[in-house]
């Protein structure tokens, strides 16, 4: 029953967004983001703690507030974007996005090698996978968490598949990614969330220890391909810019553990650099350092 309540709310909100002009939608997002930031004291504290760690307590309260509200704006833009794209054509999706570094993907396609993208909860992270699949005519398989609501998970699945994106869930992600790559599909992996210590490895992130997924590193080493980082951002929530960063080289020596550690640390370094350059784009609500610095969140 609760699933259909969620579905009804989703459809109602989708209809509302479809009749509102873009400026009104952005105004709604802004109001909801401010409300969430000020009312949600738990997540506001997490945001501030994360910013204190990342920027060594150098940000003012006003700066942390601005970044925190932007983090909610990105989250809402990602969710609202899913709804808005339900009735869009592929060409309309691409009209929203400009690309930088397209030659990197094109060269990978020409080489005939497997393609592994890495990205993060940065900007409109749902849009980036769909834009990549459309732009480069790829069948892209992403790794994600299954929604608690089966009905809503099916809605999201159908939305993604309209734009050449399939999903494998975290449980069994390695097997799903291997099957996808063997079928000549591209793979996209979110790399920026904290994991239990047994499920990841320790890296340095903003000068502090954190866990990091090894999935992308293991696949890159297995197939002997470089990882392609892609991040999307927006200044106005109407036009988006996807930056395809220089590839992270795969390593394959006799020391598998060292290879995976080096490649995984390189991913953390890439993310840190991007976040420092534009901190308003990242999802600061997540307890990124909770495994090794868990006490700071209590």
Model confidence pLDDT, tens digit, residues 24-35? 999 999 999 999
Q: Say if residue 206's pLDDT is above 90.
A: yes
Residue 1 pLDDT = 64
In this structure, of 87-91, 203-207, 210-214, 250-254, the range with the lowest mean pLDDT score is 87-91
If residue 168 lies in a helix (H) or strand (E), which one and from where to where?
strand 165-169
Q: Say if residue 2's pLDDT is above 80.
A: no
Q: Say if residue 6's pLDDT is above 80.
A: no
Residue 156 pLDDT = 80
Distance CA 175, CA 105 (A): 24
Residue 12 pLDDT = 84
Q: Say if residue 131's pLDDT is above 80.
A: yes
Distance CA 46, CA 282 (A): 13
Output the CA torsion 35→40→41→43 (10° steps): -120
Phi and psi at residue 213, in whole multiples of 5°?
A: -65, 145
In the chain, % helix, strand, coil (3-state, to 5) comes to 55, 15, 25
Instruction: For residues 212-227, give the mean pLDDT.
Output: 97
Q: Say if residue 91's pLDDT is above 80.
A: yes
Instruction: Report CA-CA distances (Å) from 102 to 40, 109, 128, 130, 162.
Output: 39, 11, 13, 15, 22
Distance CA 268, CA 52 (A): 18
Identify which of 71, 119, 129, 29 has the alpha carbon closest to the alpha carbon of residue 286: 71
Instruction: For residues 263-285, give the mean pLDDT.
Output: 98
Sequence-ordered list of residues with C-beta below 8 angstroms from that of 225, at least 6 positions apart, any chain: 108, 113, 114, 115, 116, 250
* DSSP category for residue 297: G
Query: pLDDT confidence of 207, banded at 50, 70, 90?
Result: very high
Pair of tokens at residue 34: 């401010």
Q: Bigger pLDDT: 287 or 159?
A: 287
Instruction: For residues 171-184, give the mean pLDDT.
Output: 94
For the chain, which residues make up each domain, given as ranges? 2-297
Instruction: Report CA-CA distances (Å) from 53 to 46, 274, 285, 288, 292.
Output: 11, 16, 13, 10, 12
Instruction: For residues 207-225, give the mean pLDDT.
Output: 97
């Amino acid at each position: 029953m609760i699933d259909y309540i969620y579905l009804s709310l989703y459809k109602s909100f989708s209809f509302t967004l479809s009749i509102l002009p873009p400026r009104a939608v952005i105004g709604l997002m802004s109001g909801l983001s401010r409300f969430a930031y000020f009312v949600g004291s738990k997540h506001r504290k997490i945001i501030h703690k994360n910013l204190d760690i990342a920027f060594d307590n150098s940000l003012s309260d006003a700066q942390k507030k601005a970044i925190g509200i932007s983090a909610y704006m990105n989250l809402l833009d990602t969710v609202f974007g899913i709804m808005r794209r339900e009735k869009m054509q592929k060409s309309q999706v691409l009209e929203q996005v400009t690309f930088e570094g397209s030659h990197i993907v094109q060269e990978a396609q020409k080489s005939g090698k497997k393609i592994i993208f890495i990205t993060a909860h940065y900007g409109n992270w749902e849009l980036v996978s769909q834009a990549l699949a459309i732009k480069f005519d790829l069948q892209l398989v992403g790794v994600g968490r299954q929604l608690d609501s089966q009905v809503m998970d099916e809605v999201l699945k159908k939305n993604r598949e309209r734009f050449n994106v399939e999903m494998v869930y975290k449980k069994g992600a390695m097997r799903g990614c291997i099957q996808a790559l063997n079928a000549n599909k591209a793979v996209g992996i979110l790399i920026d969330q904290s994991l239990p210590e047994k499920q990841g490895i320790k890296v340095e992130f903003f000068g502090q220890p954190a866990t990091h997924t090894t999935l992308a590193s293991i696949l890159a080493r297995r197939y002997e391909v470089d990882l392609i980082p892609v991040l999307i951002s927006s200044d106005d929530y109407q036009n988006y810019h996807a930056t395809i960063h220089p590839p992270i080289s795969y390593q394959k020596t006799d020391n598998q553990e060292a290879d995976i550690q080096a490649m995984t640390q390189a991913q953390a370094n890439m993310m840190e650099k991007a976040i420092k350059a534009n901190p308003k784009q990242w999802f600061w609500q997540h307890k990124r350092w909770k495994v090794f610095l868990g006490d700071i969140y209590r």
